[in-house]
Structures are given as C-alpha cells and as structure tokens.
Structure 1
C-alpha cells in the first residue's frame, strides 16, 4: 500500500482495503444540482486533462495497488470455495466469475469516465458516479439521485462492516486453535474469545487520524505474504494424487462457491480510487490495460490456490486454509500467529471507511460541541456490533459465502450493470439493443447469486 497520497484529500469515496488506503482526491461541486439539457449531450470536456494530482501513479504503480487490493486474506478461502464446486468445476467457475467481475468493474469505470465528461468534473467515486448517472439520466430518475447516492454510501459501509465481522471470526478461530494447543480443556467459549478481542478492537477503532493507522498496512502485507508462502509449503508437502477429489459436486452447493469467490475476488470499492489517481487513466481500461492484466493475475492465483488447497485437504478445507495447518509444527504456528496479527490490523484499517461514511451522513443531526463524544460512541457501537455478529455466526466459510452473496453481488455485479444501462438508455443501446440484453443478463445473474447464495448460506448456518 502506498502512503504517498495526500491524506488531507481523503473524502467520502476513499476506500481502505485489507491491503491499504486508497483515497479519492476529487471534490465534486455539481452533484445534486440541476443539469441543463445541453449538459446531457456529449461534451468536449476531457476529465483526464483536468485532473490535478499531486502524486499521480504510473501504470505499474496502479497495477501494484490494484493487485494488492485484490490479493488479501480472501485467497486463503479459495480451497473452501472449491469444495463447493469440485476440481474442474472450480477451475472453470473461477475463470467465468473472474471474467464477469472484471467486466462489471469495466462497466463501472467506463460509466464513471463518461459521466465525468458529461458532468464536467475530473473524476468521481462510486457513490458520486451513481448519483451523476441518475442526475444526467432519464427524467423520472433524476429526482432519485441524492437518495441513490446515500443508499450506495450505506451499502458500501455495511459491506465493509460485514467484512470486519468475517475478520473477527477468523481471529477467534485462529486464536482458539493456538490456545487449545497449549491449554487443553480450557473451557473457553466463542463468546469468551469474542469478548477477549472486543477490548483491543474498541481501543484501536477509536483512532480517528488515518496517518496513525496507515503504517500498519505495510506490516500486514508482509505477514500475509509470509502466511501465503507457509500455506503453499504445507499444501505441496505430501501432496495427493489429483484424481482423489471429485471434478464436480452437488449443484446445490454452487451458490456457496460463487459467493465465496466473489467475496475473495471482488475489489469493486477500490478500482475508482486507483483509476482516479493514475497519471494516464486512459491506460486503465482496454486491452491489455491495467484492469485486464491485474484481474488475469488475480484469477490465476486464486484458481491455483483453490485447486491445490482443495486437492490437498478436500472437504476438510476450512474458511481459511491456515486453520487446516497442523498447530503442533512451528511454521504452521507462525502462520496462525501471522494471520491473527495481519487480520487484526486489517480490521482497524477497514473499519475507518464505514465510520467516515456513517459520520458524514449523521453529523448534521449532532450539535458541534458533542461531535467528539458522538464519534466515540458511534465507533464503539459499530465495533461492538461486528464482534457480536461474529459471536452469533458460527462457521467462517458460511459467513464468507453470505457476505459475498449479499453485499458483493449487489455492489460488484448488480449496481454496475444497472447504472451502465441507465447511462446508456438515452445515449444508445447498441445494435439490436445488445447493451440492454447484456446488462439485464448481468443484473439478473447478480440477483440470482444474491438470492440463492443468501438462501443457501442461511440454510448452512441454521443446520450447524
């Protein structure tokens, strides 16, 4: 993660991934204003030439930032995803889902670039893009622009808070294995472990200055790489025959596979901040393009990790492959300790963004003199809620599938398809209205993933 961004420009569209902080440095002053008719027509305004960046990123730096945002602890969940698909079905499923996710990211970025040209602003974040699309879209939708932006804002906030709850579950499961190894029959329950983490989480989440949190990103990255290498060592150690695992499994488990892969792979919140800070943003899309190259690498790495991990551990593969490592061996114990530290720091970084979103949408209801105490209470309440959710939800892999199916399918699949369709509605839907059919199909697929994934995940959770 690069710390070269100007933190004073950190705004509502900033996103902290588990690998770092990506701020958007654009202040939009046209959102919510009435758009004149001639503004809707194609403009000669070039948003790329009007971006004033203090520290623009090269194509290689942007590739590295986007890659780091997609390659996090989610890759450790891929073996658990493959057990809900099978070896061959998992490989092809990962490739297909990777292509779909990449195309939806393309739609979001392309729409953001085009609506920036229409709105005459240098660049836009996710929620601002959605608002601008509605403002400049068909007349019946324009009055909904502010409401939709607020909805996307809150959806992003709860998506990240849901990921934070997943992190707490991984923390609890990892620490439980370590404690159980040294202290048998200790009588510690899941609730006790959650309470144990609650106090340090409450302390760290009270940090409001980003510069005190950002340095932990680099440390977490190093720990994740070391953990990944140790996991590969154990996977390749005593590796079984490839035909020991089924090529496909019951199709009813496929929604869990899809939800887990989308959760692991989807980095929809970070793509626009990365594109907005590029020296040559026109290189982000296209072929090969930064996006296509990055997602190709991501899909290959996720596919390899999922395939090898599933062949090695089969149906025993857990929500994080680190949980399958033998606790009695020193390298495996190191991996478990590393993942605990990395995920804890990731939690504190991720938690910053939803709090910024929530505070921005609620501070007008609080008197100025009570702002500090109100923020402290707000942070404590939401941190406690994530820990409470972790104490309530029992299994990591089911919760990851639920989070991916519910939140990431909406922000990563449904919303980009719909806003691209709305933006194209009065500007041309292509020959034979192919944009209409294609975007509708993507939105329908995203809805299918949301409904079936959530349903299957809830069934799995309730059956435990």
Structure 2
C-alpha cells in the first residue's frame, strides 16, 4: 500500500492473464524498513485489539450469549475470507500492470478498468471514493480512541481531583499524542505496539478479577436475543474484529508478504487469537453485568479501588499508544497515490512538511469530533457498520468480480455468485447499521442540547 503505482494505466495497457506466470510482485517489492513475521503479528494484534474488545460485552447484550458466540465466529470467518479475497485481488492487479505494489484505491481503479466496458468510466471516481472511505474509517476509529482514553482518565481524575469537563481531558490527550503521531516509519511503531499490547493484556487480566467475582447464575442471562437487535451486535463486533486499512498497511510493509495469507499465515493466526479473546471477554462481561453493561466494560468496574484505577490507566494507555498506528494508516492512505518520494532534497523536504501538516490536522480534527460527540457506543457502531459495509465486503467483492471478468468465474460462475452475495450483505449491513448508529448520535446530541437549555 505504501508503494502505489506511480501513474494511471488506461485499459489498453493492462496485461492479460498470462502475466500471472511472468511477473511476481513479491519478488520485486522493496520496503525501506520492513517488518518480519513477528513484527507483523504484533502489529496485527495492535490493529484490532483495543476499544472494540472492551465493547464486546455490549455486543453480546444485544445478541445473547450463544447467538453472540456463533455470530462472532460467522462474522470473523466472513471478514477474514474477504480480507484474503481483497489481498489476492490486489496482488493480481499488481501482476496485470507489473508493479510491486498498489494501494487499495489504485486496485479498485485497475479492477474497474479490467471489468466490463460500462464501468470503465467510473474507475477514477471509484478509486477516489475508496480513498475517502479508508480515510474516514481510520478517522472514526481514532475519534473512538480519544473518547475512550478521555472517559477513562476522567473517571480517575474525578476521584483524585475535581470533576473537570471531559473536553479538558480530550485536549490533554491530543497534546500528549503530538510526538507519537509524528513517527513516520511503521517499523519504529513496533515497540509502541508491543508496549501497548502488554498494557492492554495486563489490564484485561486484571479485569478478570471483577468479572469472575460475584458471577450470577448464567441462567439469568439470555442465550438468544431477538434478531431485530442483531444489527447493533454486528456494528460493534465488526468494529472489534477487523481493521482493513491497518491490515493492508502491515502486509505492504512485510519483508516476506507471502507469509501473510495461507491457512497458518500471519493473518489467520492473529485473527484466531483476536476471535478467542473477543468471545471470551464478551461473554464474561455480559455474564457479570447483564443488561447494565456499558459501552466499555472499564466503565462498569468500581471507581474507588486501586486495582480498578490501575486497570483503567493501563488500558487507556494501551489505547493511547494504539492511536499512532491508525494515524499512520490515515497518512498512508492520503499519500499513497502520490507515488514515491522525490529524489531531490527540496522535494523530500516539501513532502515531509506536508505530511507533518496532515498529521497535525488529523490529530486536531479527531480531537474536535471527540469533544463534540462523546457517545462512545454510537461512534463505535457507526464506524463498525461503515467500515464493514464498504471496506470489508463491497471492495473485496467488486475487485474480485471485475478482475475475473475476462478470465471467467469458474464452474457454474460460482465466483460471481459469491461476489454478488457478499455485495448484498454489505449493502444491508451498511444501510441498517449506519442508520441505527446515526439515529443514536442524533438523539444523543438532542439530549445534550435539551440539557443545556
């Protein structure tokens, strides 16, 4: 993703299927500071494990214990399969135009040019729209991070200090984030990701003390909730189970990207760990707190105990250190279609200055949104539903559909049928999930206005 194609390729320059046997993009790929497989595994865990796992008890509350576990497995299989489909399609786009790497927007543009003639005119628009969706997804994710960190540190501050407005905590989080958001190489973020994972898992382990203490009878909890509530589950669970932009950036910066996919590849191993953690944490949180579970389980634990304050501080710091990785993904999306940095010193300096400006604006804008919209649950559902629809389902299916247009869809056109089903699922999830989340945000803002008046 970091090394996008340097220029547009009209349909006439696209190669046929035979290029699959001539050009291997993995052999041609060069990364200045590459990730080894362990670095990639740690970064993948960091991409996904964060505020989402803390919201899983709320997701289980909407679905029920058994339904939630089954739907989590189904959703993770679906999303992981689509990530495989997406990366395979992007790799094939590289083979067709014989470049080492393409960004996701560039892959969408190339796929449209490979598809039927009626969609060729939409190629550039589709690529630009994909860039906007990727950027918006990372923006929403970072807004959720700032809200989460601010809320947890506010609870600690309210106990030891005065009851300050949450916006002051948002301001402090943004100021402290300044040096970290300026890190420009993914390899240099690995130590932060490792520290963040340690802090998060330390906090998760300590939360078990509260989750296992005073557990009610499991029969008091619902095993299946009405399917009308499941869309709320999908929105939250999608947010907690995947992060397409970050996953693509990790793959693009690996020294051995061929190890990323496969049954025992880096992606599948990380996904398995994430799935087990989410299901266990979600069920235990709902079992312990039932219908009173909050948007983040850290908001349910006591405020006046040393252990609970350590948990909130540990997890909040872990999420705080997660922000730079997602800010890096946003910057990568913004600059991916500009190609490589210029060779001249003045060109490199201009690009560096522009990138610093973009990072500062990104931090400022996420801080403003976090200060204005403090509803963590609704933000989580909106970001999850939006990303699930566009990045996890629609883009992989469309790329695969158009890339295979001139080579065939297999026996009984099963690939085409598969892609159409994924597109239908994506549209349903997107419309219903985003509508529910936006309605919650509007109601929340209305209540805030009423309280002020």
Q: TM-score range by the shorter chain?
A: 0.7 to 0.9
Structure 2 partner of 1:5:
none
For structure 2, the 5+ residue unaligned runs are 340-345, 445-453
Partner deviation per Cα, 1:293-347 (whole Å, 9 max, x = no partner): 4323322221111111111111222222222221222121111112222222322
Structure 2 partner of 1:400:
380
Partner deviation per Cα, 1:404-437 (whole Å, 9 max, x = no partner): 0113431111111111111122221222222222
Structure 1 partner of 2:313:
337
Pair 370,320 (structure 1): closer, same or farther in 2 beyond 3 Å: same
Give the secondary structure class of the aligned counterpart of 1:327: coil
Pair 57,168 (structure 1): closer, same or farther in 2 beyond 3 Å: closer
Q: Of the candidates 44, 47, 63, which is equivalent to residue 24 of structure 2?
A: 47
Structure 2 partner of 1:216:
192
Structure 2 partner of 1:327:
303
8 Å contact kept, 1:81–1:261: yes
Partner deviation per Cα, 1:138-193 (whole Å, 9 max, x = no partner): 3343444333333222221221111111011102210221122224xx45333343
Establish whether residue 424 from structure 1 lines up as the match of residue 401 from structure 2: no
Mapped partners of 1:198, 1:64: distance in 2: 25
Mapped partners of 1:206, 1:252: distance in 2: 40
Structure 2 partner of 1:79:
57
**Count of residues in Structure 1 that have an aligned counterpart in Structure 2:** 435
What is the deviation of 1:246?
Answer: 0.7
8 Å contact kept, 1:48–1:281: no
What is the deviation of 1:27?
Answer: 5.3
Mapped partners of 1:70, 1:374: distance in 2: 28
Q: Which has the higher helix share?
A: 2
TM value normalised by structure 1: 0.83
Give the secondary structure class of the aligned counterpart of 2:398: helix
Pair 52,35 (structure 1): closer, same or farther in 2 beyond 3 Å: same
Give the secondary structure class of the aligned counterpart of 2:203: helix
TM value normalised by structure 2: 0.85
Structure 2 partner of 1:16:
none
For structure 1, the 5+ residue unaligned runs are 1-12, 14-23
Structure 2 partner of 1:9:
none
Structure 1 partner of 2:133:
155
Pair 439,327 (structure 1): closer, same or farther in 2 beyond 3 Å: same
Establish whether residue 118 from structure 1 lines up as the match of residue 118 from structure 2: no
What is the deviation of 1:127?
Answer: 2.5
8 Å contact kept, 1:32–1:146: no
What is the deviation of 1:80?
Answer: 1.4
Query: What is the aligned-residue RMSD (CA, Å)?
Result: 3.2
- Per mean C-alpha deviation after superposition, the further-off stretch among 253-262 and 322-331 is 322-331
Pair 251,156 (structure 1): closer, same or farther in 2 beyond 3 Å: same
Partner deviation per Cα, 1:361-400 (whole Å, 9 max, x = no partner): 799xxx9898777666544443232122122223212210
Pair 447,108 (structure 1): closer, same or farther in 2 beyond 3 Å: same
8 Å contact kept, 1:205–1:351: no
8 Å contact kept, 1:262–1:409: no
Mapped partners of 1:457, 1:56: distance in 2: 38
8 Å contact kept, 1:159–1:408: no
Structure 1 partner of 2:327:
351
8 Å contact kept, 1:227–1:338: yes
